Amino acid sequence: DTAVSQTPKYLVTQMGNDKSIKCEQNLGHDTMYWYKQDSKKFLKIMFSYNNKELIINETVPNRFSPKSPDKAHLNLHINSLELGDSAVYFCASSQELTSGQETQYFGPGTRLLVL
């Protein structure tokens, strides 16, 4: 069974549309994340979320919002899509550890193309 799964794998849409990417983890982890990997292959954290706290990277536009229906899911909603949103989005999860030793498990990525 896939530990961290994302749907869809590919998403092609028009500028201005609103879309969602779903993420599910079956590892029983407390914390989930969203990362963005742009065309230059740099991976940047967007959000870190557990049932207590949402930490937002201050550079993320407020058109992006994470929604967690339960501990195993963290979906990413994007409003008014722009060309610059085209990227690969990765979901990840980990146990909530504050020692600096936690391991993150990543999903396979969702390739978003905005036309």
Partner 1 sequence: DAKTTQPNSMESNEEEPVHLPCNHSTISGTDYIHWYRQLPSQGPEYVIHGLTSNVNNRMASLAIAEDRKSSTLILHRATLRDAAVYYCILRQNNAGNMLTFGGGTRLMVKP
Tell me which of 45, 68, 72, 79 binds partner 1, using CB under 8 A: 45
Calculate the CA dihedral of residues 12, 54, 91, 110 and round it to 10 degrees. Answer: 0
Is residue 10 a contact point for partner 1 (CB under 8 A)?
no
Helix (H, G, I), strand (E, B) or coil at 85: helix
- Reply yes or no: is the peptide bond before residue 8 cis, omega within 30 of 0: yes
Is residue 69 a contact point for partner 1 (CB under 8 A)?
no
Task: Considering the complex, state which of residue 14 and residue 101 has its C-beta at the smaller distance from partner 1.
Answer: 101
Is residue 68 a contact point for partner 1 (CB under 8 A)?
no
Is residue 75 a contact point for partner 1 (CB under 8 A)?
no
Is residue 28 a contact point for partner 1 (CB under 8 A)?
no
Is residue 96 a contact point for partner 1 (CB under 8 A)?
yes
What CA–CA distance (Å, rounded) separates 34 from 89?
A: 7
Task: Considering the complex, state which of residue 3 and residue 15 has its C-beta at the smaller distance from partner 1.
Answer: 3
Angle at the Cα of 69 (from 64 to 75), degrees rounded to 5? 35
**Which residues, 6+ apart, have CB-to-CB distance to 52 below 8 Å?**
none
The residues binding partner 1 (CB under 8 A) are: 4, 31, 33, 35, 41-45, 48, 55, 57, 90, 92, 94, 96-109
